[in-house]
Structure 1
């Protein structure tokens, strides 16, 4: 009887954890939702896979001994729910992080590249799976997606980047080498970047994958909207030359786990 009660308590605990995560992600949102999402992806999913393997072994043993296996099947079923977030890491997630920020969190910025094409929003799976990037955009220019190994075959490589906003530069990286397109020889995820503090909203803008040695601003410098600040490159985790632009509530210099940052909406001025 005690063993059955323990199974009931453990099963109830798993259900409570699932409900709590869902509430935090889809109802509470914000920083709480971002942390809950990443805990589900990086902690709960691996633990659930381990539990499934253990329960399968117990199930087989129980069947061989002629014991009831209803609770084992229930544990396996609920553990499978916990494994769904692991698909985010595999890049095949059927779910995306909910974009539930308010319009008050949105900023309107100047397009940093002239005559460019943008990809982003909740339909763009590469970004939409993460709280920090769920509103981010990748900016390209014709020709793109040409599957060439030469960066100069891509229209946006070497294009001037103008500052989308007025703000203060709080961080830069300018020394990472541009990689060959469609390879994975990167050193960091962002590559060369510029972090801009938008003092008016107390939020932050990230521009990433810039060309090596192209950044023309310094940390602490105040920049104006429309000012040339660098060139588009192919540094970091990028399949081809493009500019990544991301708006978030958290100071990127203070986030130990960048994927837990709270992404915020961004629109482009016409």
Structure 2
């Protein structure tokens, strides 16, 4: 509906249609939803309802609530986070089109590969279930069947009683994260910062919802995403072949994280933002349910067919390899080694597209504050320069050479600046507001990002 507002910008006789730009505010819906849920919980509206997480003692009382509330506006103003949030909303539409309007579901989807838990030992599922009411996030589509894992003690605490919220105090922090099945690494993000405190806090300069993460292709249209890893802990590169159970990184607190945990999801596409989440069954898993059993409370029935079983929020789960000795880890064909140079090109182009979208966001925001297009062009040029300088200094400080892919996002922002400068010089789009122009540049970046990763997906088949 927001696109209708552009007609009001282009044609003075339709100026009333500019009111449709208000629909762009729905991009803030995920934040508003989390805010309402937090306020509702803090006011005690859910106290009479028993839930699967009631046995857990993970929150930090009013301090955790305040930390979360302060983080919401910071995330909204963070261009990297806003870019990814809006792309997720558009990406759900792309995923729906890819599946002809019917997204994968537990009773219709049969996975091509056997999966184990991506961790060893006993972990607690604090978010996630194939049951809609207890899903990690039913919308956007990419996180529909995602899981969040932490380690808790018998009292349901994720860190020892009496300790502060330093990340090293959490039981799961720095624990090994494993490949859930054999496959080929298709994407790695390992440049997100990490706060040394948790308790509802996350780094204000985070650059991705997932933080540091690894994407692995296990079969055609079957990828795993392992997120929120410790900076510098990732042990694999795009193009590497990994075996089931191989360590790929360590559990951390990067990205959109209130405390150290592992975010795991299975998806049908190598790009997080445009993927559809896939329901996943785990092999060799034992389950303990200390609190409310959501399977019994909802009369949910495990779908027949396929290996393994689903897990649910509130459960303590453990990987027990001796449960299935001598069986193959793969139902379908194992993925072949992938051309690393091809993955590198896809990654570089996707970062350029990301930079273009960031430029669109900055154009819209700065244009509202400072209507002059030249001011917007200057802001974009400064942002691109700072990004390029940061990457050059970072590469040299780490003792490495400057690589093109590390500069590609800054180049994308620079492209947005050049596009806007050309439009100013030629008078093109002068009748459109900066908000409309910024939305247009953002959309171009999103389309390019989707096209690049769609090419990457088909090249991996």
Q: Under a length normalisation based on structure 1, what TM-score does the superposition of the two structures give? A: 0.60
Q: Give the C-alpha shift of residue 216 in structure 1.
A: 1.0
Partner of residue 103, structure 1: 109
Q: Structure 1: how far apart are the matches of 2:32 and 2:183? A: 36
1:154 is aligned to 2:164: no
Give the aligned length: 190
Residue number among 188, 193, 201 corresponding to 1:183 in the alignment: 201
Residues 151, 124 of structure 1: alpha-carbon distance in 2 compared, 3 angstrom cutoff: farther
Partner of residue 230, structure 1: 249
More strand as a share of residues = 1
Partner of residue 267, structure 1: 281
SS of corresponding position for 2:180: coil
Per-residue CA shift, 1:205-240, capped at 9, x if unaligned? 111000111111121110000111110010000001
Partner of residue 192, structure 1: 212
Residues 126, 135 of structure 1: alpha-carbon distance in 2 compared, 3 angstrom cutoff: closer
More helix as a share of residues = 2
Q: Give the C-alpha shift of residue 115 in structure 1.
A: 0.8
Q: Which runs of 5+ in 1 are unaligned?
A: 1-39, 48-82, 253-257
SS of corresponding position for 2:281: strand
Per-residue CA shift, 1:101-149, capped at 9, x if unaligned? 2232475411112211123023346522321000000111114278943
Partner of residue 186, structure 2: 170
Residues 84, 235 of structure 1: alpha-carbon distance in 2 compared, 3 angstrom cutoff: closer
C-alpha contact 2:146 2:266 (8 A) present in aligned 1: yes
Residue number among 74, 77, 91 corresponding to 2:33 in the alignment: 91
Q: Give the C-alpha shift of residue 84 in structure 1.
A: 9.1
Residue number among 249, 265, 271 corresponding to 1:246 in the alignment: 265
Q: Give the C-alpha shift of residue 201 in structure 1.
A: 3.8
1:215 is aligned to 2:231: no
SS of corresponding position for 1:268: coil
Partner of residue 115, structure 1: 122
Residue number among 194, 202, 205 corresponding to 2:224 in the alignment: 205
Q: Structure 2: how far apart are the matches of 1:171 and 1:212? A: 15
C-alpha contact 2:194 2:202 (8 A) present in aligned 1: no
Aligned runs of 1:41-56 on 2, under 5 Å? Answer: 43=2
Alpha-carbon RMSD: 3.5
Q: Structure 2: how far apart are the matches of 1:106 and 1:129? A: 24
Partner of residue 389, structure 2: none
Partner of residue 4, structure 1: none
Q: Under a length normalisation based on structure 2, what TM-score does the superposition of the two structures give? A: 0.36
> Does 99-108 or 186-195 show the bigger shift?
99-108
Residue number among 130, 140, 153 corresponding to 2:140 in the alignment: 130
> Does 217-226 or 118-127 show the bigger shift?
118-127
Q: Structure 1: how far apart are the matches of 2:112 and 2:134? A: 18
Q: Structure 1: how far apart are the matches of 2:113 and 2:138? A: 18
SS of corresponding position for 2:133: coil
C-alpha contact 1:151 1:157 (8 A) present in aligned 2: yes
Partner of residue 19, structure 1: none
> Does 160-169 or 259-268 show the bigger shift?
259-268
